[in-house]
Structure 1
Amino acid sequence: MRSAAEHLAQVLALVREPGFEAVPLAGALGRMLADHVVAAGAIPPFDNSAMDGYAVRAVDVASASESAPVGLEVVGESAAGHPYPGTVGPGTAVRIMTGAPVPAGADAVIPQERVAATATSVLVDAPPALGAHIRRQGEDAEPGSLVVPAGVELRPRHLAAAASCGVAQVLVTRRPRVAFLVTGDELVAPGGALGPGQIFESNATYLAAALASLGAEPVDLGTVGDSGTDVLAAVSGADADLVITTGGASVGDHDPVKEGLASAGVSFLTVAIQPGKPQGLGRIGGVPVVCLPGNPVAVAVCVEVFVAPAVRAMLGASEPAWEPMRALEAWRCPPGREQVMPVVLDAGGVRPATSGGSGSHLVARLAVADGLARVRADADAVEAGDIVAFRRFTV
């Protein structure tokens, strides 16, 4: 059997970055920035006022006091978007609003609540510090300085910073197209009527949502029955950067994925992981193909452990860390296989999300789990108080 780490390395070796595209800021939320955003000019582009008040020359009011206030003539106004066109000369002041350009000649702003003013004059009773309440040109960013580094998943604050630079569009990594195919004669779409031996199909719903949450573009190839020919036809026609199949990859008599793809470039093997032991990996027509088991919990585990890292690698995103966490109760592990157990966070530790262990069919219990615990392959049990690796679900 191949270890989970070895299998992940093989999966990552298959995929490639899908390239880049320019998108407007309005469509860039959640995308991975592929090139630095730098300031083309100074931010702010001019000295501006941090307060509503009066722009003055500090020297004119340097001697001002409560007992001997200094009077200045108000010669105009500077408002946001409407700068005062002249110069503040000796003995004058300009009414100024927050964010408005500081007029030439002024070197301080006195807040309006600290003066006595009329429409044409202002009386100052305390000297301001030189540069008081002035936001300097380039204080936020100098021309050419880095504002948003490449490799960032763009959030609203990043988009606002880019917009402040005058950037209308950004270069981002193209969303990888990840196609998925679900197989099995026993599957019925949700909302349908179950016949004898049939179950509702959930993997397509999970994969579409999981891939979208990872930043990929999901491509639903549909559901096919237990026909190797149909599987090969569906996979061969996929316009995708990666194809995922679920089910039919084991050693049974009716394993259509293995039947259809084994002779076309996909190798089938066992991975030392529970759940998720039977897997396939290869290329069909140059497109990477990853074949997962069909049981829903196994699909969820394999997406977290193998598929999600591949999508993040294509996007240039970092892999979230696994953290040490204390087990709150004991459970059994499969000998010789790394166990990945859906768990619930509870009082500073984790416990299994279900009394049924890590059974790959227990999909309804996934809804109550907070994440996954990983247990080494050389462990045959976890005892209360043992340390396991834990990570919240990333999809």
Structure 2
Amino acid sequence: MSEDRAFDRPRAAYAADPDRSRGRRLPEPGSPTRSDFQRDRDRIVHSTAFRRLTHKTQVFVSLEGDHYRTRLTHSLEVAQIARSISRVLGLDEDLAESVALAHDFGHTPFGHEGEDVLDRCMADFGGFDHNAQSYRILTRLERRYAGFNGLNLTWETLEGLVKHNGPLADASGNGIGRYAGRVLPHAFRSDPDFLGLEPWTQPSLEAQVAAIADDIAYDAHDIDDGLRAGLIEIEDLRGVPLVGDFLREIEERYPGLERPRVVHEIGRRVLTRMIEDVIGETRRRIEADGVDSIDAVRACPRMLAAFSEPMEEAERAVKAFLMERVYRAPSVMAVRDRVGGIVADLFDVFLRRPETMPDQWRQDLDPADESQLPRRVCDYIAGMTDRFAFQEHRRLFDATPDLR
């Protein structure tokens, strides 16, 4: 390895190495100032899909207020956590950051409700899956470069995005994990290069770290947003494992502390404790499984980046609390019902009247392929921000639901 490149740094034997990347689909000359994984990160940050995350719902519809998390702020927080863990473990921080920054690209407007509705609309045409849509965006839909569609990312970054939650299929191509008993999503099945990503193996440790950083960010910051929205109160946290302990620590050390500082102190303690737990457990698993190379990581029968058993139990309790008190709160569910109608209406009108879509989304349609128009409509809607979907509905319909 050359010593005159500023981006070189020591890494563990089991880390991904940009100098040994499996390359890009279309070969490109290397950069003298950036590693291949750094170039991936930069392409992701400068992409259209990344900017759109600014106005896409995390939990609260982006029209509801300026201080709630959006897909963009969430992705930045995940990237920060992933880099912190990767640095301590000797992993490639740039690869972990790339996966973290792009992991939500495929999400529709209006959060999970938008995804559920779009999946129902596409039931007869291959369905919709946000992880597969991220892959579709990065390999086909982004159109910025003269020589290729997509971003032409490295094999390792695409692998990390595809296997965000672990292997997708067994060696025979049958779905496992979240795809058990189902065919793989259309975006994977329709890409002849997809199997080259070896969906039956574990992802790199960098990708595993990005995935668990996603969980950590959700837990800490959805508590914060739930408190900010008034869906939960600080007193409600006393009985929540881990979180209640932190609340008592804060009250003992800082009696009478004002509410905003208490909220922040809880969040940062949750982040710190979970990050430290993942680092310790991951090290234990690496040692116990004798992992000494990235090939050993991919061949391992289990994920290596993980919570310890006690922390995993506490984390499940936090998620259950958030599910009941925040994600399924009556006010949140009422908005979900209304935004679902917006997505369904848009899909219906674009399918019946494709001339209402911009020209670029109607070009080169094959009348003989009945699935092509629905997939084009799906791609168009999935790429919308909350704000743009709302505006499109107002343009095309006489009445649009109030989302505030």
Q: TM-score, normalised by structure 2?
A: 0.24
Q: Which has the higher contact order (CA 8 A, sep 6+)?
A: 2
Q: TM-score, normalised by structure 1?
A: 0.25
Structure number having the greater strand percentage: 1
Structure number having the greater helix percentage: 2
